[in-house]
């Protein structure tokens, strides 16, 4: 260190340096202050930030954190909380509780529901349930529509859906049969039997009951024999092709039009029907006809109303019906018909009112109904049917798989009493399994 003077000079420089450092820290030091007093000066130096002007209080500081304010240490008292809000379509302001700081906000999802709606013919407003926020999905049930096939008739028909359906999908109207061939055939056999009788009637006329035989197509004029004033009635025997007895009419002495068929009591044993395709209403309203001869019907497709209102026939011969598609009203109002043979009905589609009002009918065989689409009123008012026949009818219902609606025994014409008997027969369980009920 050198000499003593050198050491004193160094010490004095150190003192000066310390003095300046103390002054820089904000503590005054005079030239008169001793070097030893510098220790107290150094102790007076403040360290850290100056908090004398701080304004924070304990409630401003998050508990349990600490801070310094106003030259004092403060422990915070500010608490925290969590907030839960629901989602909304509009902005939301979330504010803390007094004295609390929000540490977390939980946004709840919207509570949506699925709605099932049945279609209606009127407008529907779909709203959520009371405890739901909204609707996420609307399921609209499919409309249950029914497809129907309709047979044209001579009267207006209103087509509506059956019970269990919401409405109609498609309505198929079967083609109207071309009647030109039928009319032509009828006119070729007997266009018209018409006579004009002298209408000179005075007092008590002497009228003749006359019988005639028709052997060929054309018009026959019937006149009273000499000595008679006119005709009281004409009995007609037709010995021509059977195409039709629909036609035709004769005129009695009083001018009234009579249906020839009402006068026919028997038919020729050999009817030429081999070329006929349409025998609709061929023998309808032959009220006096008691029997039907064998005939070739192999080409016939339509036997609708063929024997309608033949009120005296009790049975019919075995007919070739393999090509027939329509047997509606075939035996309707044959009030003395007792039984029918087992007909080939494999191509028949329409059996509506086939045996309607056959009030003495006891026997119906099990007919093929595989292609049948219509059995409405088939056996209405057939109150004498045997149990075996009722069981056959149940089998026909089972096999009628193309009938998909209104499958009740009432709809085909069975009475409530007959329906109750059917429930005791062997075919009932299968009929019920196929969707048939009594309808009562």
pLDDT for residue 248 is more than 70: no
pLDDT for residue 180 is more than 60: no
Domain membership flag for residue 27: yes
Domain membership flag for residue 330: no
Tokens at residue 342, please? 């087992």
C-alpha separations of 140 from 118, 129, 135, 187 in Å = 6, 17, 13, 60
Neighbour count for residue 48 (Cβ, 10 Å)? 6
Domain membership flag for residue 228: no
Ranked by mean pLDDT, which of 2-16, 69-83, 253-267, 360-374 comes out on top? 360-374
Angle 267-268-270 (CA atoms, 0-180°, nearest 5)? 130
Domain membership flag for residue 78: no
Q: What pLDDT was estimated at residue 98?
A: 82
DSSP three-state, residue 49: coil
Q: What is the rounded average pLDDT for all residues in the chain?
A: 81
Range of the domain at 20: 10-39
Cβ contact 344:327 at 8 Å: no
Between CA 429 and CA 373 the distance in angstroms is: 22
Between CA 187 and CA 268 the distance in angstroms is: 19
Q: Is the peptide bond before 64 cis (omega within 30 degrees of 0)?
A: yes
Between CA 388 and CA 424 the distance in angstroms is: 12
Kindly state the average pLDDT of the residues 159-177: 79
Q: What pLDDT was estimated at residue 49?
A: 67
Which spans in 164-323 are helix H? 180-189
Q: What pLDDT was estimated at residue 7?
A: 82
The model's pLDDT over 307-322, given as tens digits with 9 standing for 90+, comes to 999 999 999 999 999 9
Domain membership flag for residue 348: no
Residues 6+ apart with CB under 8 A from 191: 217, 218, 219, 247, 248
Tokens at residue 148, please? 């129907």
Domain membership flag for residue 14: yes
Domain membership flag for residue 288: no
pLDDT for residue 47 is more than 90: no
* Burial environment of residue 304 by CB neighbours within 10 A (0 to 12, 13 to 18, 19 or more): buried
Domain membership flag for residue 23: yes
pLDDT for residue 252 is more than 50: no
The domain total for the chain is: 1
């Amino acid at each position: 260190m050198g000499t003593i003077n050198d050491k004193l000079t160094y010490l004095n420089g150190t003192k000066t340096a310390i003095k300046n450092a103390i002054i820089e820290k904000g503590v005054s030091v005079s030239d008169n202050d001793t070097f030893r007093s510098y220790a107290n000066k150094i102790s007076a130096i403040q360290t850290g930030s100056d908090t004398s002007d701080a304004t924070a209080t304990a409630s401003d500081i998050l508990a349990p954190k600490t801070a310094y304010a106003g030259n004092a240490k403060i422990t915070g008292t500010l608490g925290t909380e969590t907030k839960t809000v629901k989602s909304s379509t509009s902005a939301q302001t979330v504010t803390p509780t007094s004295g609390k700081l929000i540490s977390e906000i939980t946004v709840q999802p919207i509570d949506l529901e699925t709605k099932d709606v049945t279609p209606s013919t009127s407008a529907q407003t779909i709203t959520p349930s009371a405890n739901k926020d909204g609707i996420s999905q609307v399921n609209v049930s499919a409309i249950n529509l029914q497809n129907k096939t309709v047979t044209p008739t001579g009267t207006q028909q209103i087509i509506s859906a059956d019970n269990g359906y919401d409405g109609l999908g498609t309505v198929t109207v079967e083609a109207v049969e071309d009647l030109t061939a039928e009319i032509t055939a009828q006119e070729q056999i007997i266009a018209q039997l018409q006579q004009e009788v002298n209408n000179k009637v005075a007092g008590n006329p002497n009228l003749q009951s006359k019988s005639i035989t028709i052997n060929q197509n054309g018009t026959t004029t019937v006149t009273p024999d000499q000595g008679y004033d006119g005709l009281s009635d004409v009995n007609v025997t037709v010995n021509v092709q059977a195409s039709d007895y629909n036609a035709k009419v004769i005129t009695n002495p009083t001018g009234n039009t009579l249906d020839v068929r009402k006068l026919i009591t028997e038919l020729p044993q050999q009817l030429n029907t081999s070329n006929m395709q349409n025998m609709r209403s061929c023998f309808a309203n032959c009220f006096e006809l008691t029997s039907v001869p064998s005939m070739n019907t192999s080409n016939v497709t339509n036997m609708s109303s063929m024997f309608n209102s033949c009120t005296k026939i009790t049975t019919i011969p075995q007919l070739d019906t393999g090509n027939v598609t329509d047997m509606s009203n075939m035996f309707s109002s044959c009030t003395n018909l007792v039984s029918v043979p087992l007909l080939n009905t494999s191509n028949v589609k329409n059996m509506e009112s086939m045996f309607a009002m056959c009030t003495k009918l006891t026997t119906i065989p099990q007919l093929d109904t595989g292609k049948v689409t219509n059995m409405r009123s088939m056996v209405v008012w057939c109150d004498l049917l045997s149990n075996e026949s009722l069981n056959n009818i149940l089998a026909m219902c089972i096999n009628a798989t193309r009938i998909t609606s209104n499958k009740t025994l009432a709809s085909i014409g069975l009475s409530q009493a007959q329906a109750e008997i059917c429930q005791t027969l062997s075919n009932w369980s299968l009929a019920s399994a196929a969707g048939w009920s009594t309808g009562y």
